[in-house]
Amino acid sequence: MSYGIEYQNLTFQFDGCPANRAINELGRQQGKESFFPDYGSCPAYVAFLEHGSNNCYDESGRRARQWGVQHIGDHGQVMGRIIRASEYVESGMTKPKDRGQKAETYIATNRKRLAEALPLTVLQKHLQGRTIALGVQDFSADHAAKHPWWVMANEKGWVFSQRYYAAGSAVKFYVADALTLEMALMAVSQVSVGDTVTMANLIEPFGFESVLKRLCPGEQLRLMRIPIKPATDSTLKPATCNAPKPATRNAPNPASPRALEPGTLGS
pLDDT tens string 193-228: 888 888 999 987 666 888 888 887 654 444 445 443
240 lies in a domain?
A: no
When divided into structural domains, the chain yields a total of: 1
Rounded Cα distance, 154 and 143, in Å: 13
242 lies in a domain?
A: no
C-alpha distances (whole Å) from 133 to each of 66, 75, 77, 171, 195 are: 14, 25, 24, 6, 21
Instruction: Give me the pLDDT at residue 182, please.
Output: 95
pLDDT tens string 168-178: 899 999 999 99
Q: 231: part of which helix (H) or strand (E)?
A: none
Check: CB of residue 154 under 8 Å from CB of residue 173: no
59 lies in a domain?
A: yes
Instruction: Give me the pLDDT at residue 231, please.
Output: 40
Instruction: Give me the pLDDT at residue 37, please.
Output: 64
244 lies in a domain?
A: no
Domain that holds residue 197: 4-223
Rounded Cα distance, 42 and 55, in Å: 40
The per-residue b/e assignment along 136-165, b for 16 or more CB within 10 angstroms, e otherwise, is bbebbeeebebbbbbbbbbeeebbbebeeb
**pTM (predicted TM-score):** 0.77
pLDDT mean across residues, the chain = 81
72 lies in a domain?
A: yes
245 lies in a domain?
A: no
182 lies in a domain?
A: yes
Instruction: Give me the pLDDT at residue 213, please.
Output: 80
Helix (H, G, I), strand (E, B) or coil at 198: coil
Least confident range of 64-78, 105-119, 232-246: 232-246
Instruction: Give me the pLDDT at residue 116, please.
Output: 92
Q: What percent of the chain has pLDDT over 90?
A: 53
- Region 15-22 average pLDDT: 90
Instruction: Give me the pLDDT at residue 1, please.
Output: 79
233 lies in a domain?
A: no
Residue 20: which of 41, 5, 50 has the closest Cα?
A: 41
